Structure 1
Amino acid sequence: MNFSGGNVKVKTISFIGTGVMGASIVSHLLQAGYPVTVYTRTKEKAEPLLTEGAKWAPSVAEAVQKADLIFTMVGMPADVKEIYLNDNGILANGTNGQIVVDMTTSSPALAKEIEKAASEKGMAALDAPVSGGDVGAKNGTLSIMCGGEESIFEKVRPIFSIFGSRIVRQGGAGAGQHTKMSNQLAIATNMIGVCEALSYAEQAGLDPERVLESISPGAAGSWSLSNLGPRMLAGNFEPGFYTKHFLKDLRIALDEARRMNLDLPGLQLAMRLYEDLMDKGYGDKGTQVLFKHYQ
């Protein structure tokens, strides 16, 4: 690897998983002048990035072998486990000195498992889930919550700063994932409040867009109210973040809460509502589709 002091001088970055969020992050890296190799299960989804100058890897193994720094952003914890720990995965093909950064929202326990396995190969691992949705990814203003060794975090921080505006190391391996669970819990109950506030406004005969204008800057203000409230009213339920992935996060949070003997009734209510939306076929819609429950 070609690292110098606390700054990272990367010969090659690989990015595995170029979905709604990942594609914007790769675009920022390319615009910053970094060579990026990408791998995703469906090459067609990566074509816009290839047009921008990204290189294509036909397999995880090839993406890993060409990289100093490897980012992953896939769907589910099962996908993370497969892509890191199977015989054809990242760690099987990795070499001493490489850094891997998983940006998927996943299990804290799995983050610790990956960090341990990476260390045994002379590699370093960070868990670095993000918040800010598709808007934050496009604008390069994501909040990045990181777990892992401080020295490794400091080496990667300059790269994080290309697509993130708030970058915080929360602690050791798994701490980033625990922080993301706190984030998702705050969003889950807030989303219920946003939907109920707009439904109430409509039923009261008010103009809900005008209501948003009044309440968004005040004490009721939140990212969800300002960014997703208008989408709800416009009937725009396309994903900035998939409902199926959000429900996955809530299930992880509930499992962790049970391990800590923590009763979270708001989380349980949000889970029931989103499970109902999944049963109705809205898994590939954005989290703001919760508004349909109130319609």
Structure 2
Amino acid sequence: MTIMITENTTIGFVGTGVMGKSMARNLQHAGYTINVYTRTKEKAKELMEHGASWKETAKELAATSDVIITMVGYPSDVEEVYFGENGILENAKENSYVIDMTTSKPSLAIEIYEQALKKNIASLDAPVSGGDTGAKNGTLAIMVGGKQEAFEALRPLFEVLGDNIVLQGEAGSGQYTKLANQITIANNMVGVCEAIAFARKSGLQPERVLDSISTGAAASFSLSNLAPRMLKGDYAPGFYVKHFIKDMNIALESAKELGLMTPGLELSLNLYKELAEKGESNSGTQALIKLFM
């Protein structure tokens, strides 16, 4: 790859939702020129007010950017922006980079990598964990799949977005790692909700219980960051229920392909589906506590 990452590098960012907007904003703070495209232009308003250039299509964004980052909702959205005559791969510059940071299917990450390679474009799959707080603070965990050369070239951008950045292996490895992450969270969220419900039922003050258990062997991101939101009745999305269901479905599908039993994942998925059926699809994942109250 001949394009070097410098202060003059133009980054195209596709998807400015709960996390994507903060990630793009951090890149702006770091001095990078940003092109932005998203289905709803209003969501890019803040970025545009700080100098981002709006592009009407993914095609236009790809043709005018050195690095293209996508952070969209579902694998179908990834396919839509990457493939076809109006897609990123057909229109990106030769020797540019594409980074899909959406949590998506490992097989799709491999397909993007293979198609990009034919056009002399470097591709990395780099899903993230850390929620809205990690995106705002630039402290995301970034799990990367792809070639070492591309990873090293793009490290300056990753270091703006996160502080736990690991190349896991070849294309698709980042997605497999993120699915392992989501399996862990899925099981943990059920345990957090059960612990809070148990504390209340036994007459304890849940806030004091959290003070005791959140720094011991039970410690976790969900316990420290989401349990307090549960107790406050704050269900605003740091990560949407509907997107977590999507992730768990992909993880379950991948586990079955690998011949692996995941009973905890199946239980959590069923509970979140029940939560969504109660109208909580657009709530944060911490809304699971509502099933236990």
Give the TM-score, by structure 2 length.
0.98
Paired residue type of 1:31: H
Paired residue type of 2:218: A
CA distance in 2, matches of 1:122, 1:212: 51
Paired residue type of 2:292: Y
Between 276-285 and 106-115, report the one with greater CA deviation.
276-285
Please give the residue correspondences for 1:14-93 in structure 2 after superposition, counting only pairs within 5 Å: 14-93=12-91
Give structure 1 stretches of 5+ with no counterpart: none
* Aligned-residue offset at 1:108: 0.1
Question: Judging changes above 3 Å, is the alpha-carbon distance between structure 1 residues 172 and 10 closer, same or farther for their aligned structure 2 residues?
Answer: farther
Out of 99, 102, 106, the residue aligned to residue 101 of structure 1 is 99
Moved over 4 A (4+): 7-10
1:42-84 Cα offsets, whole Å, 9 max, x none, are 1111111111221111111111111000000000001001110
1:132-169 Cα offsets, whole Å, 9 max, x none, are 00010111000000000110011001110011101000
Q: In the alignment, what sits opposite 1:265?
A: 263
CA distance in 2, matches of 1:2, 1:259: 38
Secondary structure of residue in 2 paired with 1:170: strand
Paired residue type of 2:3: F
* Aligned-residue offset at 1:278: 1.4
Please give the residue correspondences for 1:140-159 in structure 2 after superposition, counting only pairs within 5 Å: 140-159=138-157
1:13-70 Cα offsets, whole Å, 9 max, x none, are 1100011111111111111111101111111111111112211111111111110000
Paired residue type of 1:186: T
Paired residue type of 1:156: L
Secondary structure of residue in 2 paired with 1:281: helix
Paired residue type of 1:179: T
Between 54-63 and 228-237, report the one with greater CA deviation.
54-63
Secondary structure of residue in 1 paired with 2:103: coil
Secondary structure of residue in 1 paired with 2:69: strand
* Aligned-residue offset at 1:3: 3.2
Q: In the alignment, what sits opposite 1:283?
A: 281
Tell me the number of residue pairs that the alignment of Structure 1 and Structure 2 aligns: 293
1:76-120 Cα offsets, whole Å, 9 max, x none, are 001001110122110121231110000000000000000001111
Out of 210, 213, 231, the residue aligned to residue 212 of structure 1 is 210
CA distance in 2, matches of 1:262, 1:8: 44
Secondary structure of residue in 2 paired with 1:38: strand
Q: In the alignment, what sits opposite 1:176?
A: 174
Q: In the alignment, what sits opposite 1:166?
A: 164
CA distance in 2, matches of 1:50, 1:289: 32
CA distance in 2, matches of 1:27, 1:94: 22
Out of 120, 123, 143, the residue aligned to residue 121 of structure 2 is 123
Paired residue type of 2:27: L
Paired residue type of 1:282: E
CA distance in 2, matches of 1:2, 1:51: 32
Q: In the alignment, what sits opposite 1:3?
A: 3
CA contact (8 A) 1:130 1:142 kept: yes
CA distance in 2, matches of 1:149, 1:234: 44
* Aligned-residue offset at 1:10: 4.8
Paired residue type of 1:93: N
Secondary structure of residue in 2 paired with 1:246: helix
Q: CA RMSD in A?
A: 1.2
Give the TM-score, by structure 1 length.
0.97
Out of 100, 111, 114, the residue aligned to residue 113 of structure 1 is 111
Give structure 2 stretches of 5+ with no counterpart: none
CA distance in 2, matches of 1:47, 1:261: 46
CA distance in 1, matches of 2:58, 2:254: 30
% identical aligned pairs? 54
Q: In the alignment, what sits opposite 1:294?
A: 292
CA contact (8 A) 1:10 1:69 kept: no
CA contact (8 A) 1:20 1:134 kept: yes
1:218-277 Cα offsets, whole Å, 9 max, x none, are 111110000000000111111000111111110111111111110110011011101111
